[in-house]
Structure 1
Amino acid sequence: MASTPTEKKPHVLDEPSRDLETANDDVSVGRGDILSQEHIDPVLNAKMHLVNNAIDEIGFTGYQWKLFVLNGFGYAVDSLILLIQSIIAGKAALEFHPGWANGLTVAAYVGMLAGASFWGITADIIGRKFAFNVSLMICSIFAIVAGSSPNWIVLGLFVCLSSFGGGGNLVLDTAVFLEYLPSNKQWMLTLMACWWGIGQLIAGFFAWAFLPNFSCEDPSVNPDAPPCVYANNKGWRYVWFTSGALVFAMSIARITIIRLKETPKFLIGEGRDEEAVETLLFIANKYNRPCSLTLERMAACGEITRRREGSKWSPAEVGIHLKGLFATRRIGWSTSLIWGSWVLIGLAYPLYNVFLPQYLASRGAQFGQKSDYITWRNYALVNFSGIWGPVLAGWMCSRPWLGRKYTMVVGALVTCVFFFAYTQVRSETQNTAFTCIINFCLNIYYGTLYAYTPEVLPSAHRGTGNGLAVSGNRIMGILSAVIATYADTGTAVPIYICAALYVVMAGIAAVFPFEPYGRRSS
């Protein structure tokens, strides 16, 4: 690695069109900015370079630690909401007798699809701050209300609205954290995915605490069970109430603890150089760190090309952000491969994980395990194991011989191996152990992909690109629910499909055109 950010004074770029790859200064790490030669606007390129220098000079502070925790909770909320609807669907169905048992899964994915698209584009148009604060609040309110649903349709509506907030928030968590990270800490973007497993663990614990003790009996298991009504089936409602209350508390903590300022990279893209400099100087002064960036240095780079000619919300403005994701051949190729990866894992992940309770239940029945308590205990163990995949991935992607790309390749291939091995499980202990291992390995790939996506996208279009990538993921989640309606997810067939998909994902990761290791996001 190159010298630390504070060892030498930053170089000032007097010629904004100068090639930054060759004019790289001592403050830069490794080979410089990831997209240094890809920007069409050389002035924007130069200003982003100066902002990266300033962030490196300030270094990692308590501000980034707060973002790691409270942005990370956005990861947790996404997995929490998605897993909770899957966990409680069976118990709620006993009470409401729906016509389509997988309706809640579709509702959740439709909400997340809409949320990722809307909040992702919104973040590029009006800024990260508003979307970051509002989306999680929306999620918490409707999660609480979902526990009071009088019927299946209303429950699906509230699940959809809660997912709209949670799914959109996920897009912002990585973008906001990345745009404040010094380059030698960008690996923490991968580490932050451990919060995804924490969200799953919380969902598992809530299910373990409430469902075995406050749920009606399934008449298909016990023919003498009393009718399932509101009075004897409150467990799934308690799960929603507690989950929503937790998300609400964290959304308030975001506003009161972080007090997020708009990210400097968004401000630079909007031509608001003075605000960007003020934000960086504020952080430097608060944590007693050096920052030699000045407005004069920014002005010396020139004026960026103004992109907006009409309303912020005009179709032309949205089109500008879409075109920006294909500004050059390499950026376009990168965007296409990233979106393809998200589509593939969008099918593989829910086929395995969202419908995992059904598969675990079927395997438990084969092994003579009929206890709800044991089922949800095992589910909590599986989710606990998922926390540590991104921890290992964070270490792997910071190794020069792996980087982000080959961390994904290794994670995908190892997951594939254990998927095939899982079909040979013959005991309850093996069942639990292999499920835990798969969840661990799967999150090595998934966590790295979550981090890689915003790292290689242009800052001015990062929200749109990230949002549409996640949207493709959600579309396949909807498709997986349709597949589950007409296929038996209690068999090993989805496991074989998932294994094959991970082989394809490994191949795509190997040919990604950008490697972020040792370089700085633009």
Structure 2
Amino acid sequence: MDVEQSVGTVANADTADKDKPKHQTPSLSSERSIGHGEQDLLGSQVDEVLAAKMTIVNDTIDEIGFTIHHWKLFCLNGFGYAVDSLILLIQSIVATQARKEFRPSYPTGLTIAVYTGMLVGAIFWGFSADIIGRRFAFNFSLLISSVFTVVAGASPSWTVLGLFVSLSAFGSGGNLVLDTTVFLEYLPSKNQWLLTLLAAWWGLGQLIAGLFAWAFIPRYSCSDETNCTSANNQGWRYIWYASGAFVFVLSVLRVVVVRLEETPKFLLTEGKDEQAVRVLNNIANRYNRPCSLTIERLRACGETAHRETTTAGMTQRLISPSEVAFHFRGLYATRKMALSTSLVWFSWLLIGLAYPLYNVFLPTYLASRGAAFGQPSEYITWRNYAINNTCGIFGPVLAGFMCRSGWFWGRRGTMIIGAIVTMIFFFCYTQVRTAAENLGFTCAISFCLNIYYGTLYAYTPEVDTNFDQ
């Protein structure tokens, strides 16, 4: 999403740490400034009128406070986290049995397919959300994922399976980039620690994947590839069917539980001030909360400049390569911002290497280690996998409360501690000699790794413009 719209997301970030001052309602003169101090970079990058309106909306969100609506969003957005981790791990779970049936010449094809789909989905839906709006992309991307997850179970060949895995990941990976954005654009500043806690749903998705594997793989799988056919190897297909049905239910709940309206900050970037006021007033009225926002206050700031073109009487949004390049250059406009951007991207590069190496290949590693410890049973292997993924749920829970209380320098300190402790357990894991130690250390690694992972997911959208700390 571009800088002009990300200002709405990050401008209400109280900070990446505990000591960020709370928004103050601006006067008309201050409404034409960014409202976060002279060091805030956005003043040189986006329309000042838009920034002033965003400040007013942020204050209104703080005025309304946290409601049941936000708890519903916490669950609905968490679905996206759960589905993304579910799809990621399912392909690694089913790969071994699917290989026995199809005997492919490129056995790691599913891993390449799932990450290709997630990458393309994140780029496509990230840019699409700035054109078609958050609401449609938020709901439709998850529905796409559910359809292709079900279809993947009926794949007649390894190539077709890879295609459907990629398309399923296209939907889930694209949905994930919207989960934090949509939630943050509605969230009061003092409750932003919930963005870290949101990653607990990631662990829940892992757990569901593990439970499906535990239920189907030991019972409905062939033992070796010499006599492995579709008839005696239905377990991996059942996992796809069950997971697809689960994702479809989640996509329906998104429409039924909360009929999500377009986020007010996106509406501001589109020049739809009246609709932004209506959305926030509807939330306030529904939960009997105060709301002083009026269309007159927004109009007093001026007219928002937004890119559009008219073709055949229709107004369309434009995103040109030169404009994308402009926003990328904005991420490196100052030395401090360039350093922060580079470190965030480098963090994602490293976690993108470490997380798949551990989680995607964990089933294979657990099986090999179990055999070495005299536990070759598939039932025990998948039971341990489910236990391991259960521990991953609680890492973001601890991280969320650490961020909320401001322990160890807030989000940055939480990530530092999570990374260091995870590293220690990884080194210790090389000395494992018994089955009990194997299970214990993998659970500890899963817990600590998700402390870092969950915090990084929350830190990234918050930190973009918080360079005054």
TM-score by length of 2: 0.89
Kindly indicate whether residue 162 of structure 2 is the aligned counterpart of residue 156 of structure 1: yes
The Cα offsets for residues 59-94 of structure 1, whole Å up to 9 and x where unpaired, read as 111111111111101000000001000000001111
The Cα of 1:305 is off from its aligned counterpart by 3.5
Partner residue in 1 for 2:185: 179
Kindly indicate whether residue 137 of structure 2 is the aligned counterpart of residue 114 of structure 1: no
Q: Which amino acid aligns with 1:258?
A: V
Partner residue in 2 for 1:170: 176
The Cα offsets for residues 299-330 of structure 1, whole Å up to 9 and x where unpaired, read as 12222333446852543454454345445554
* 1:354 paired residue among 357, 360, 371: 360
In structure 2, relative to structure 1, the CA distance for the partners of 1:371 and 1:203 (3 Å cut) is: same
Structure 2 unpaired stretches of 5+: 1-17, 310-315
The Cα of 1:336 is off from its aligned counterpart by 2.5
Secondary structure at the counterpart of residue 306 of structure 1: coil
**Distance in structure 2 (CA, Å) of the matches to 1:165 and 1:292:** 38
Q: How does 1:122-137 map to 2 (within 5 A)?
A: 122-137=128-143
Kindly indicate whether residue 197 of structure 2 is the aligned counterpart of residue 191 of structure 1: yes
In structure 2, relative to structure 1, the CA distance for the partners of 1:403 and 1:36 (3 Å cut) is: farther
Kindly indicate whether residue 23 of structure 2 is the aligned counterpart of residue 17 of structure 1: no
**Distance in structure 1 (CA, Å) of the matches to 2:24 and 2:330:** 33
**Distance in structure 2 (CA, Å) of the matches to 1:409 and 1:34:** 25
Q: Which amino acid aligns with 1:285?
A: N
Q: CA contact under 8 A between 1:389 and 1:442: conserved in structure 2?
A: yes
In structure 2, relative to structure 1, the CA distance for the partners of 1:513 and 1:423 (3 Å cut) is: farther
Q: Which amino acid aligns with 2:386?
A: A
Q: CA contact under 8 A between 1:198 and 1:387: conserved in structure 2?
A: yes
Q: Which amino acid aligns with 1:244?
A: G
In structure 2, relative to structure 1, the CA distance for the partners of 1:19 and 1:247 (3 Å cut) is: closer
The Cα of 1:46 is off from its aligned counterpart by 1.4
Secondary structure at the counterpart of residue 405 of structure 2: coil
The Cα of 1:289 is off from its aligned counterpart by 0.7
Q: How does 1:224-373 map to 2 (within 5 A)?
A: 227-308=227-308, 312-326=318-332, 328-373=334-379
Partner residue in 1 for 2:10: none
Q: CA contact under 8 A between 1:419 and 1:438: conserved in structure 2?
A: yes
**Distance in structure 2 (CA, Å) of the matches to 1:513 and 1:14:** 23
TM-score by length of 1: 0.80
The Cα offsets for residues 368-396 of structure 1, whole Å up to 9 and x where unpaired, read as 11100000000000000000000000011
The Cα offsets for residues 460-486 of structure 1, whole Å up to 9 and x where unpaired, read as xxxxxxxxxxxxxxxxxxxxxxxxxxx
Q: CA contact under 8 A between 2:218 and 2:378: conserved in structure 1?
A: yes
**Distance in structure 2 (CA, Å) of the matches to 1:246 and 1:389:** 24
Q: CA contact under 8 A between 1:121 and 1:318: conserved in structure 2?
A: no
The Cα offsets for residues 194-227 of structure 1, whole Å up to 9 and x where unpaired, read as 00000000000000000000111125xxxxxx71
| The 10-residue stretch of structure 1 (358-367 or 82-91) with the greater mean CA deviation from structure 2 | 358-367
In structure 2, relative to structure 1, the CA distance for the partners of 1:19 and 1:131 (3 Å cut) is: closer
**Distance in structure 1 (CA, Å) of the matches to 2:240 and 2:160:** 14
In structure 2, relative to structure 1, the CA distance for the partners of 1:14 and 1:34 (3 Å cut) is: closer
**Distance in structure 1 (CA, Å) of the matches to 2:389 and 2:462:** 27
The Cα offsets for residues 426-459 of structure 1, whole Å up to 9 and x where unpaired, read as 100000000000000000000000011111236x
Q: CA contact under 8 A between 1:308 and 1:317: conserved in structure 2?
A: no
* 2:448 paired residue among 431, 441, 447: 441
**Distance in structure 1 (CA, Å) of the matches to 2:33 and 2:468:** 21
Partner residue in 2 for 1:486: none
**Distance in structure 1 (CA, Å) of the matches to 2:323 and 2:301:** 25
Secondary structure at the counterpart of residue 31 of structure 2: coil
Q: CA contact under 8 A between 1:193 and 1:390: conserved in structure 2?
A: yes
Q: CA contact under 8 A between 1:333 and 1:513: conserved in structure 2?
A: no
The Cα of 1:58 is off from its aligned counterpart by 0.5
In structure 2, relative to structure 1, the CA distance for the partners of 1:34 and 1:191 (3 Å cut) is: farther
The Cα of 1:258 is off from its aligned counterpart by 1.4
Q: CA contact under 8 A between 2:34 and 2:51: conserved in structure 1?
A: no
Structure 1 unpaired stretches of 5+: 24-32, 220-225, 459-511, 516-522
Q: Which amino acid aligns with 1:160?
A: S
Q: Which amino acid aligns with 1:17?
A: R
Number of residue pairs matched by the alignment: 445
Partner residue in 1 for 2:60: 54
Q: CA contact under 8 A between 2:31 and 2:301: conserved in structure 1?
A: yes
The Cα of 1:123 is off from its aligned counterpart by 1.4
The Cα of 1:11 is off from its aligned counterpart by 4.8
Q: Which amino acid aligns with 1:283?
A: I
**Distance in structure 1 (CA, Å) of the matches to 2:387 and 2:24:** 50
**Distance in structure 1 (CA, Å) of the matches to 2:340 and 2:433:** 42
Q: Which amino acid aligns with 1:254?
A: R
The Cα of 1:190 is off from its aligned counterpart by 0.1
CA RMSD of aligned residues (A): 2.5
